[in-house]
Every structure is written in structure tokens, then in C-alpha cells.
Structure 1
């Protein structure tokens, strides 16, 4: 280890572009992980979502467009299009202490809704990593139609 540390400055001097690229990637990874720690909600897998639904009666909100929701959604999910999503709604205020899981098709849009729920004071907010695509990838059933 001592020889490695002794030769590190020489390596950095001989390969400045490679060294800068390494440190850039290292900073990006650290920033991404720090962001995950402080965002206020947790990403769950399909198995963890199943446990939350069955064991803790989690509220599942699907923010997909209504047409996509009707094609297939997680059973028990309620559809609220992102344009109409309001974390301050009186019905949502009743469940602030209950686990709330936000889902979309790919897992990208749900992050914005989850952030809004956290800012509104919800304590147990989750997103399904990978969205409905991850749910079907885990060979779990989809419900079809409006409800």
C-alpha cells in the first residue's frame, strides 16, 4: 500500500485526463448517493411494494396518464394524473401517517410526485423503482380498466 501511495502522484502527473475523469465520476457518484439519502422518500422493489400493500395497507397512487393506467396497473392503485396531483387534497391529508407509494410507467415521473408529498408533510413516502415495468418484469399481475 505504501508503494501505491508513493507512486500515485507520478501516475496522476503522467495521466492527467484519466485522473480528472476518474475524480469527475467519483464526485458524480458521491453526489448521487448523497441525494438519495436526503430526498425524503425511499425507492422500493416490487416485492417490498407487495409487503407494504399486504402488511401495512399502503395507499398506492399511479400518476400515469389515464390511458396508460387503463392498459395495466398495480392492483389496488388509484390513478391520479400528474396534472391533477395535489398533495394538499383533503382525502390525502387523512393518510399522512400511512405508507404512500407513488408509481408511474417507468419510475421517473413518480419521483416528482413523491418529492411533493414529502414537502407536504407525508412521513412514509415510497416510489416503485422501475415503475409498472418493474412490476411486470417481476411477473406480478396487472389490473386493467379504470379501477
Structure 2
């Protein structure tokens, strides 16, 4: 199997090279798309130093079932309409949290366009749960 892969790569080096370049561009685009991606430890450190505010983008029902201590709940479909509520936190990093970390990047980009410092929790609330960190109801 590996022999076939090597044979293909050597005989189609331009095709393989184009694939590698496109893959690198896709990865770079996804990384730059929504600001910094934070681990659960980085989020905790920023919040403990009072340098960040957590905004949970999940629906109210999911937020009520369990959320990070001190998090504000602004459902993702209402974030832009309620951006004025975040003005008092503009000096801090706004850390966006969603269910699995898939949607918060685009919203972080919108906040950065509005002059906020924004980041997202890598893996969303799922990574928080996976690290056995506490949730409040």
C-alpha cells in the first residue's frame, strides 16, 4: 500500500504538490478565520486573572442545563443584535463558547471587526466536559 502511494507521488509530483499547497492554505484559512483558539486551561487562566469574559453562544435551554461559571448567555443568532451588552467588557478578551467549537470562530471574527479582542474555546463546551471541569446550572 505504501509502495503504491510512493509510486503515485513520484509519478504525479505536480498533482501531489498542488494538493499539499491547497491543504496548507485551507488550514491557514481556518486558523485565521475566527481569532485565537484557547484550551480550557488558557480560558481558566484568563478568567481567573480577570482578563476575559466568557460568552456562551448556546441556546438558553442548553445554557441552563450547565455552563461555565460566570458565563454570559447570548445565543449565537442574537449576538450581533446584543453586541452593545458587551461594550462594558471591551478592555477584556471575549471568549466565545459553543457546543463543539464549530460556530464560535465566525462570531469571534464579527466581534473583532467591531473592535473587540475575541477568542474561542477549542472544542467548545464538549472539551470543557471532557476535561472534567465544573459546570453550574
Structure number with larger C-alpha Rg = 1
CA 1:14–1:61 in 2, change beyond 3 Å: closer, same or farther? closer
Q: How many residues align structurally?
A: 131
Q: What is the CA deviation profile of residues 62-98 of structure 1, one whole-angstrom value per residue up to 9, with x for unaligned ones?
A: 0111111111111111111112112773321222221
Q: Tell which deviates more after alignment, 61-70 or 81-90.
A: 81-90
Is 2:39–2:122's contact at 8 Å kept on the other side of the alignment? yes
RMSD, matched Cα: 2.4
Q: What is the CA deviation profile of residues 6-41 of structure 1, one whole-angstrom value per residue up to 9, with x for unaligned ones?
A: xxxxx779622x752x32441233213432564462
Counterpart for residue 61 of structure 1:
55
Is 2:34–2:120's contact at 8 Å kept on the other side of the alignment? no
Runs of 5+ consecutive residues of structure 2 not aligned to the other structure: 1-6
Q: Tell which deviates more after alignment, 89-98 or 73-82.
A: 89-98
SS at match of 1:140: coil
CA 1:103–1:37 in 2, change beyond 3 Å: closer, same or farther? closer
Counterpart for residue 131 of structure 1:
124
Q: What is the CA deviation profile of residues 29-65 of structure 1, one whole-angstrom value per residue up to 9, with x for unaligned ones?
A: 3213432564462000000000011013411100111
In the TM superposition, structure 1's runs of 4+ consecutive aligned residues that sit over 4 Å from their partners are 11-14
Relative to the length of structure 1, the TM-score reads 0.77
Relative to the length of structure 2, the TM-score reads 0.82
Q: Tell which deviates more after alignment, 133-142 or 23-32.
A: 23-32
CA 1:104–1:52 in 2, change beyond 3 Å: closer, same or farther? same
